[in-house]
Amino acid sequence: MIPVIGQLVGGVLSALQALGYPGIATVVGLESMGIPMPGETTLIAASYLAATGHFSLPLVISSAALGAVVGDSIGYAIGRKGGRRSLNRHGKYVRITPEKLAIADRYFVRHGAKTVFLGRFLPLLRILAGPLAGTAKMPYRRFLAANVAGALTWATTMGTLAFFFGRLVAAFLSSLGVWGLVAIAALLLARFAFRRWRRDRERRLAASKAVRPAVEYPRT
């Protein structure tokens, strides 16, 4: 199993190396447009390749940031031109009412810049921030400023962390060997199973207390 995983990871890294910097920008950009793609994973993998001498870290960070800014801007344009019309027409099917859209508009007026900036670090918001900001008619200049700041901060932070810690993690895992990795996996599975068992036990106890009939004492 471990050799198969190693071959799979090696194949992904080789493919990324072949795609180069345009591939990094494209994957991150597609994710930022609203398409579920492994944008952050691509950035981390590319930064690890930079640590091993296959890429330049500044160019990896620049490619990811550029893809994020362009992709978010395209997502914003899509949301601004067609998002509100689509939600007004089909939103009722997912319980999105005009009242809720008005609340979203007021939210983006007050907190739009923070949402766009911080959303770069959150998986779901990283995909939806652009289209949502466009749908809420957030002013593009404010959106672009938060978009650029968030993209640069995100790409620099994640890329630098992966660059410096990626080699350490890889060296640590290599030193453990196959059986060390198996032991770590077994411990994680055991911890997960124990927590699941304890949660189910607490749920059963709570359910039994809820259905337990009240005790009636005989009248004297």
Of the candidates 48, 45, 61, 9, the one whose C-alpha atom is nearest the C-alpha of residue 166 is 48
Per residue, the 3-state secondary structure of the chain, as one string, reads CHHHHHHHHHHHHHHHHHHHHHHHHHHHHHHHHCCCCCHHHHHHHHHHHHHCCCCCHHHHHHHHHHHHHHHHHHHHHHHHHHHHHHHHHHHHHHCCCHHHHHHHHHHHHHHHHHHHHHHCCCHHHHHHHHHHHHHCCCCHHHHHHHHHHHHHHHHHHHHHHHHHHHHHHHHHHHHHHHHHHHHHHHHHHHHHHHHHHHHHHHHHHHHHHHHCCCCCCCCC
If you average pLDDT over residues 173-195, what whole number do you get?
64
Alpha carbons 55 and 49: distance in angstroms, whole number: 6
Residue 57 in tokens: 């870290």
Least confident of 3-7, 85-89, 154-158, 210-214: 3-7
Higher-scoring residue by pLDDT: 180, 38 = 38
pLDDT digits (tens, 9 = 90+) for 85-119: 776 665 555 565 666 667 767 777 788 888 899 88
Interhelix angle 140-211/123-135, rounded to 10 degrees, is 120
Segment 120-129 shows an average pLDDT of 84
With a cut of 60, say whether residue 213 has pLDDT above it: no
Residue type (1 letter), 83: G
Q: What is the pLDDT of residue 24?
A: 94
Amino acid, single-letter form, for residue 208: S
Q: Are 131 and 78 in contact (CB under 8 A)?
A: yes
With b for 16 or more beta-carbon neighbours within 10 A and e for fewer, the 191-215 pattern comes to: eeeeeeeeeeeeeeeeeeeeeeeee
Q: 4: pLDDT confidence band, cut at 50, 70 and 90?
A: very low
Residue 220 has pLDDT above 80, yes or no: no
pLDDT of residue 170: 55
Return the closest-CA partner of residue 67 out of 11, 19, 2, 105.
Answer: 19
Pick the range with the lowest mean pLDDT from 84-98, 146-160, 166-180: 166-180
In this model, does residue 76 exceed pLDDT 70?
yes
Best-predicted range by mean pLDDT among 95-99, 142-146, 185-189?
A: 142-146
Note the pLDDT of residue 193: 83
Euclidean distance between the first and final Cα of the chain, in Å? 72
Confidence of residue 148 (pLDDT cuts 50, 70, 90): very high
pTM beyond 0.75: no
Chain segment 29-73, per-residue pLDDT in tens = 999 988 888 888 899 889 988 988 889 999 999 999 999 999 999
